Structure 1
Amino acid sequence: MPVDSGATPVASNRDNEKKARLYSLDALRGFDMFWIMGGGSIFHAISKVSGSPFWEAIDTQLEHPAWNGFHFYDLIFPLFLFMAGVSTPYSVGRELEKGKSRNQLLLRVIKRGLLLVLLGIIYNNGLQLQPVSQIRFCSVLGRIGLAYMFANIIYLYTKGRAQMIWFAGILVVYWLLLKFTAAPGFAPGDLTMEGNFASYIDRCIVPGKLYLGIHDPEGFTSTFPAISTALLGIITGNLLRNSPMLPVRKVGLMAIIGVMFIILAQLWNFDFPINKNLWTSSFVLQVGGISLLLLALFYYVIDIAGYQKWAFFFRVIGMNSILIYISGHFIDWHYTNDSIFKWLGQLIGDPINAIALSITLVFVKWLFLYFMYKKKAFLKV
Structure 2
Amino acid sequence: VGVGLLLLYWALMTLVPVPNGYPPNLEPETNLGAWLDYTLMPGHLWSQSKVWDPEGLLSTMPAIVSGISGVLTGLWMQQPKTHYQKLTSIFGVGTLAIFLGLLWNLVFPINKALWTSAYVAYTSGIALLTLGVIYWLVDVLQYQKWTKPFVVYGTNALFVFVMSGIVAKLLYTIKITSTSDALSLGKWIYQQGFTSWITHPMTASLAYAIANVLFFLALAWLLYWRKIFIKV
* TM-score, length-scaled by structure 2: 0.78
- 1:368–1:195 CA distance, 2 compared to 1 (3 A): same
Determine whether 1:311 maps to 2:158.
no
Specify the code of the residue in structure 2 equivalent to 1:180: L
Please give the secondary structure, in 2, of the residue aligned with 1:263. Answer: helix
Counterpart in the other structure of 2:8:
173
- Give the 3-state SS of the residue equivalent to 1:201 in structure 2: helix
- Find out whether 1:320 has 2:171 as its counterpart: no
Shift of 1:186: 1.2
Question: What is the identity, as a one-letter code, of the residue corresponding to 1:260?
Answer: L
Answering whether residue 36 of structure 2 is matched by residue 201 of structure 1, we say: yes
Q: Residue 246 of structure 1 aligns to which amino acid in structure 2? A: T
1:237 lines up with 2:88 in the alignment: no
Contact 2:42–2:51 under 8 Å retained in 1:
no
Cα distance in 1 for residues equivalent to 2:209 and 2:27: 36
Q: Is the 8 A contact 1:333 1:365 kept in 2?
A: no
Q: Closer, same or farther in 2 for the Cα pair 1:333/1:361, shift >3 Å?
A: farther
Say yes or no: does 1:274 pair with 2:110: yes
User: CA offsets per residue over residues 91-132 of structure 1, 9 Å max, x none?
Assistant: xxxxxxxxxxxxxxxxxxxxxxxxxxxxxxxxxxxxxxxxxx
| Structure 2 match to 1:368 | 219
Is 1:257 matched up with 2:108? no
Q: 1:263 to 1:350 in 2, by over 3 A?
A: same
Structure 1 residues 282, 312: CA separation in 2 closer, same or farther (over 3 Å shift)?
Answer: same
CA contact (8 A) 2:152 2:220 kept: yes
Equivalence map 1:291-310=2 (5 Å)? 291-310=127-146
CA distance in 1, matches of 2:13, 2:54: 16
Determine which structure has the larger helix proportion and give its number: 1
CA distance in 2: counterparts of 1:356 and 1:271, whole angstroms = 38
Give the deviation of 1:374 after TM superposition.
1.6
Q: Summarize the Cα distance change of 1:380–1:206 in structure 2 as closer, same or farther, 3 Å threshold.
A: farther
Q: Call closer, same or farther: CA 1:294–1:182 in 2, change over 3 Å.
A: same
Q: CA RMSD in A?
A: 2.8
1:224 corresponds to 2:61 = yes
Q: Distance in 2 between matches of 1:200 and 1:285?
A: 25
CA displacement, residues 146-185 of structure 1 (integer Å, 9 cap, x when unaligned) = xxxxxxxxxxxxxxxxxxxx11111111111112113222
What letter matches 1:363 in structure 2?
L
CA distance in 2, matches of 1:379, 1:192: 42
Q: Which structure ranks higher in relative contact order (CA pairs < 8 Å, sequence separation ≥ 6)?
A: 1
Identify unmatched segments of 5+ residues in structure 1. Answer: 1-165
Q: Aligned partners of 1:360, 1:187: CA distance in 2, in Å?
A: 46
Residues 169 and 247 (structure 1 numbering): CA distance in 2 closer, same or farther, change over 3 Å? same
Aligned mates of 1:368, 1:175 — CA distance in 2: 42
Q: For each residue in 1:314-370, what CA deviation from the matched residue of structure 2 results, as whole angstroms up to 9, or x when unmatched?
A: 22123322322221415867979x99xx8xx69xx8237957666544333211110
Contact in 1 for aligned 2:97/2:122 (Cα 8 Å): yes
Q: Map of 1:1-381 to 2, 5 A cutoff?
A: 166-183=1-18, 184-188=20-24, 190-206=25-41, 208-211=43-46, 212-242=49-79, 244-328=80-164, 329-330=166-167, 350-351=197-198, 354=204, 359-381=210-232
The CA distance in 1 between the partners of 2:38 and 2:128, in whole Å, is: 34
Code of the residue aligned with 1:170 in structure 2: it is L
For the residues of structure 1 that align with 2:132 and 2:67, how far apart are their CA atoms? 17
Q: SS in structure 2 opposite 1:178?
A: helix
Where does the alignment leave 5 or more consecutive residues of structure 2 unmatched?
173-184
TM-score with structure 1 setting the length: 0.49
Q: Matched residue pairs, number?
A: 207
Percent of aligned pairs with the same residue?
Answer: 33
Distance (Å, rounded) in 2 between the aligned partners of 1:271 and 1:356: 38
Q: Is the 8 A contact 1:251 1:300 kept in 2?
A: yes
What is the SS of the residue equivalent to 2:78? helix
Distance 1:351 1:330, change over 3 A: closer
SS in 1 for 2:128: helix
> Which amino acid in the other structure matches residue 44 of structure 2?
K
Q: 1:180 to 1:250 in 2, by over 3 A?
A: same
Q: How far apart are 1:290 and its partner, in Å?
A: 0.6
Are the structure 2 counterparts of residues 357 and 237 from structure 1 closer, same or farther at C-alpha, using a change threshold of 3 Å?
Answer: closer
